[in-house]
A and B are shown apart, each in its own frame.
Chain A
Amino acid sequence: MSKISLNNLSHSYLDQQNNDQDWALRDIDLEWSNGGAYALLGPSGCGKTTLLNIISGLLRPTKGEVFFDEKKITHLSPVERNIAQIFQFPVIYDTMTVFDNLAFPLRNRGFSEDKIKARVKEIAEMLDLSQTLYNRASGLTADGKQKISLGRGLVRSDVNVIMFDEPLTVIDPHLKWILKSKLKELHQEINRTMIYVTHDQTEALTFADQVVVMHEGQLVQKGTPVELFEKPKHTFVGHFIGSPGMNILSCELINGKANFSGAAIEIENKPISHKTYSKTQIGIRPEFVSFSNTGIAVKVLKVNDAGRHKIIDIECDGGKLKMISSVATTIPSGTAYVKFNSKYTYVYGDDWIVGK
């Protein structure tokens, strides 16, 4: 078990780098403490797999170092790093029994059969595999097989970190939540550092205490699920997390005040900055926009009844935005006014949050 630190890590698949686009990863600084549940979240092409491969040792970074605790391991091979990895698709031996599959990583390391038996039974119990322990793996469903893969990753108690690479891809949607809760429970029980890589925000936020969001090779925010929802530090996080995502519209920043759609917008998180930006934007989630008697004048374009709430398209001088209201909300006719909840309104300068 170890703390994992990434120091000033950059990686490029090219021999020469001329601009930002040539880097698959740029200036990653990150620390994951021992025993935590972490997720690496981002769309395809964001660099998350590159980062995973650097941690597991399949890839040597162009710049920067990887540490397990205080030990520099950048140059170590995957085997020497002593990690467990679980992949998208089950990696198991079909001809072996479930028991032998789970015992395999332990037998390889020469544990005694007594110890192996005790440990395998313990893991099988956690994953509800005890009933089928002596069945052949080939007869199992895709979920059953993926559970064995998970079990093989979890069975060794001496690994530095357990990494999951999109582990629920093959799981039937109706069973996904059950495996999600299993993983969460397992983390609580065995208390080891776990890193979960995915493009699926629900999986990342459900599993992890801390989520790292990646975008175009950069780390754009590290935070709890609540922080990512309530205070996105980068416009990408606002857009990517949540459905529909954050409204992000051009605004003017004058003397620490945001002017949007012809009005000064009240913002608790004061956007005081002495920098100049090539673009400034205001960000507000649809959940925090509501109808009001005064405020920003808007025209209602469309009302979607999404069953549990209404998603309303509105337009003001500053542009088009979405708001979410309860089903009971009456939609004003003619010109309506909306207000933004000042606690959750932010200003972004060149896509990064401005102010404290």
Chain B
Amino acid sequence: MSLELKNVKKKIGTETHIYSTDLKFEKNTINILLGSTLSGKTTLMQIMAGLDKPTSGEIWFNEKNVTGVSVQKRNVSMVYQQFINYPNFTVFENIASPLKIVSISSNEIKNRVGKVAELLKLTDMFNKKPHELSGGQKQRTALARALVKDSGLILLDEPLANLDFKLREELREELPRLFENRDCIVVYATTEPMDALLIGGNTATLHEGKIIQYGKTVDVYNKPKNVISAKVFNDPPINTTKVIKKDKTFSIENNSISWQCQSNLGALADGHYTIGIRPHSITPYKQTENSVQIKGKVLIAELSGSESIIHFQSGNIKWVSLSTGIHPLKVGAEAELHMDVNQFLYFDKNNKLINHV
């Protein structure tokens, strides 16, 4: 089982929505499409589902060309950001609805609905109508309906986006388990890097209609191919700045910050580079001995409950720091923070990652 996009393009009028895309998803994998709003995630999913046709290129499913085959004739399930259920059906009827269309015995329906309902903790809700459910339960019902018919391809378009923070956390943790031991390919679209990291699997970073990088989620995160991929995969956004290398020293342009070049970068030619500093590599406390200080004016300290995101200005750049614990720095205060030099990412003139490890 596999899903393959071969040279797929999508144009609407003169506007290109999807640039030439080649992607191959294998059996029993979860694949994350990660990108901001309007990066092309939904368009790609609709093409995969058969809800939309590519302008050119082909879609292959199980080694068969399915380009142009309508969604009704394909074994596909889809879950959306909005909680979509039949308002007059009970939870049981909602989950059972895809099975009623194909002819399956009522015992078999009961059996299958029971199984997915247990997985999604809906067994006690069978007789309720959607309006009696919480947001989380509504989305669980929609997910159960997608799972009950054993589709070969399950497409989830930002399924957690409309949920409260805590419900989101809970359901995100359960999601990978739902697809274990199930013969299917899962595609999951999200704007949130944390969704990708915690769900795992493979990730494709998307930007303005282009796939930037595809690979194992941790690999894409740890080794972003270029500056764009690093930006897509970091929230709060990764700090980027121009640096100059001279002899064994790097220094940030228009700032007095400099540090010694690590031995593995010694061979790099002197000149201009871009570095990426992830927010969690800048903290109010020292994380390693190999750190440099950065001073700046606090714009705001956002406190998330167990972490602090400090926005500050240093030189003519706005920076973001992310640290564990609550650090309620005052707006306008001068702060001293520490950057972990070991964690810097170096990019060349073409914004490509310099693999130094």
Contacts and interface: CB of A to CB of B under 8 A. Distances in A.
Contacts of A263: none
Contact of B221 (A177, A229, A241, A307): A307
Interface residues of A, number: 37
Interface stretch (A74-82, A114-122, A156-164, A179-187): A179-187
A297 B297 CA distance: 46
A272 to B, nearest CB: 28
Nearest to A230: B326
Interface in B296-339: 299-307, 309, 311, 322, 324-326, 328, 331-332
Contacts of A188: 331-332
Nearest to B298: A181
Interface stretch (A27-35, A55-63, A123-131, A199-207): A199-207
Interface residues of B, dominant DSSP: mixed
A241 B305 contact: yes
Interface string A158-176: 0000000000000000000
B198 A242 contact: no
Contact of A287 (B197, B218, B306): B306
A72 interface: no
A241 B306 contact: yes
15 contacts: A43-B164, A177-B300, A177-B302, A177-B311, A181-B331, A201-B165, A224-B328, A225-B326, A229-B325, A240-B166, A242-B306, A243-B165, A304-B198, A305-B221, A306-B194
B303 A205 contact: yes
Nearest to B135: A44
Contacts of A239: 166
Interface in A37-55: 43-44
B280 interface: yes
B169 interface: yes
A285 B324 CA distance: 12
Contacts of A240: 166
A205 B326 CA distance: 9
A198 to B, nearest CB: 11
B324 A307 contact: no
B35 interface: no
B320 to A, nearest CB: 9
B305 A242 contact: yes
A205 B305 contact: yes
Interface of A: 43-44, 177, 180-181, 184-185, 188, 199-202, 205-206, 224-226, 228-230, 239-245, 285, 287, 304-309, 311, 324
B284 interface: no
Contacts of B194: 306-307
Contacts of B324: 287, 309, 324
A243 B169 contact: yes
A184 B299 CA distance: 10
Contacts of B280: 307-309
Nearest to A179: B300
A306 B306 contact: no
Contacts of B328: 224-226
B278 interface: yes
B303 A206 contact: yes
Given A304-B198, A306-B197, A202 B305 contact: yes
B193 interface: yes
Given A181-B311, A304-B198, 17 more contacts: A44-B164, A177-B300, A199-B165, A202-B302, A225-B326, A226-B326, A239-B166, A241-B305, A243-B305, A243-B306, A243-B307, A245-B166, A285-B306, A307-B280, A308-B278, A308-B322, A311-B198
Interface in B246-300: 278, 280, 299-300
Nearest to A172: B37
A180 B300 CA distance: 8
Given A205-B326, A243-B165, A306-B198, A229 B331 contact: no
B200 interface: yes
Interface string B174-202: 00000000000000000001100110100
Nearest to A182: B300
